[in-house]
Structure 1
Amino acid sequence: MSAQRLFGRPLSRAVSLTALAALALTACGGGPATPDKGGKPAPAETAKPGGDKAERPELVMPEGFALEFRGWRSDDPREQAVLDDGREQLRAGYAAIGAGNPDAGYLAFYNTEAGLGSAKEWVRSYSGKNVTVGGELPVYDAEVRLIGERGKLASLIYCTDERGAYTVHRKTGERVGNPEGSAPTVRYVTTLRVAGDGVWRTDDVRSERGAC
């Protein structure tokens, strides 16, 4: 089983990584901000992201696994709303991996119809091998920009470092980390669209290993 394949997200609809990277403006960096160690938002983030009226689903991270969102902050409230829902979309994916359920309703909540197929494929790349995840996965160097005059589309770019993360076989307990010689960092380029309920849902995810 290849941890490189499992942790590296499958590509969804074609989007130019170079073009989106050129559009992105740094909203926050990977500095020494308090990490999100329990896989849950920090206390200041427990309110509905963006201050909208949508009822967001509760997410439970896999046991023994922690996403650490480092410096996931912006002074612009609209950019922060994108960061908040982008964070929850990633947490929803790992919650589905922990549950072994690619059809979990919270995946549909945080992804557009166009992006949902890719999200389910990613979860199945774990559930089909009967594995979940463990360890710690830092998420850092977030960059966000609202695109277009109406501000209904956004790009969100971030990095992960897989050195402290691994897959765990549900039956045998076998742990598998990054293959030797594989770059541990992965750069993600995502696009999000805001809906009438104020939720920024992920429309597209692309990844490039070693690009951070």
Structure 2
Amino acid sequence: MHARTRVGLALLAATLSLAVTACGSDAKPAANPSIPGVDGGTAAPSASPSSSAPADADRPKITLPADDVLVFEGENTGDPKMDAVLRDNAEHIRAVDDAIARKDPKSAAVAFYTKDTALVDTSTWINDFIKDGKTVTGTVRHFARKVTFLKDGAAAVTYCADESKGFTKDVKTGKVDVTPATKNSYVFYNERLEQNDKGVWQTAKTISERGFQACQP
């Protein structure tokens, strides 16, 4: 199993049911109150981007090691508000890898893009990497990314991650734990994002399913 899956997801996946029919471009989270990101109602129409969105200069600088490559497909949907959600979702993921590389479980960048349950679980997960003397390496591709706006103002983001070329690495020896690609190399994510008073879409909750059929090639 590829150990890169984020945020204590095994625990979340065990306690929350996955409510999605597919991971393709027309996938949509089902209306189920037990799913983070879904309030049990219908999706709200997209609105114009918040005027309080932070300038790039206000955002934390995130620099990943050269051997840690994160690819995000479908960044430009043509809808400015959806694009803002997808951008902040990607920055959340990049911030986590950055914190692991810098051995910083209290990363300001992670806190900037994360809140609530996701922030607690993410900090614990980063600290586990540090305790184990591990970091991340390789390439992870994020695709089939979809945003659904909810009645309560939050956004549900679903996507797949191809971790077949993403691995863990021993910090001291530099040895990469290369594992063969299997169905479990492909992970489905369902995340709830909430916009704060600065206009940042913060990840609040995450669930996943490893080996999700629709995410596999």
Q: TM-score, structure 2 length as denominator? A: 0.76
Aligned counterpart for 2:90 among listed residues 87, 95, 99: 87
53, 59, 62: which one aligns with 1:59: 62
Aligned partner of 1:123 among 99, 123, 126: 126
Please tell me the root mean square deviation across aligned C-alpha atoms, in Å. 2.4
Amino acid in structure 2 at the alignment position of 1:140: F
Change (3 A) 1:15 1:82: farther
| Letter of the 1:104 counterpart | S
Deviation per CA, 1:14-49: give whole Å up to 9, x if none. Answer: 554306722599xxxxxxxxxxxxxxxxxxxxxxx9
- Distance, in Å, in 2 between the alignment partners of 1:185 and 1:17 is 15
Provide Cα deviations, 1:75-128, integer angstroms capped at 9, x if missing partner: 211111110110100010111111111111111111113321011122123212
Aligned to 1:21: 29
* 2:4–2:136 CA contact under 8 A, matched in 1: no
In structure 1, the residue matched to 2:24 is none
What is the percent sequence identity of the aligned residues? 30
The 2-side partners of 1:194 and 1:188 are apart by 19
Give, in angstroms, the shift of residue 167 of structure 1.
1.0
- Structure 2: 5+ residue stretches without partners: 21-27, 32-37, 44-49
Q: Does 1:191 align with 2:188?
A: no
Distance in 2 (CA, whole Å) between partners of 1:197 and 1:147 is 19
Counterpart code for 1:189:
N
Q: Which runs of 5+ in 1 are unaligned?
A: 26-48
What is the alpha-carbon distance in structure 2 between the residues aligned to residue 67 and residue 83 of structure 1?
14
Match of 2:5 among 5, 8, 11: 8
Task: Please name the residue that 2:178 is paired with.
Answer: 177
- AA aligned opposite 1:8: T
**Of the candidates 68, 71, 74, which is equivalent to residue 71 of structure 1?**
74
Q: TM-score, structure 1 length as denominator?
A: 0.78
The 3-state SS of whatever aligns with 1:72 is coil
CA distance in 2, matches of 1:181, 1:156: 25
- For 2:29, the aligned partner's letter is A
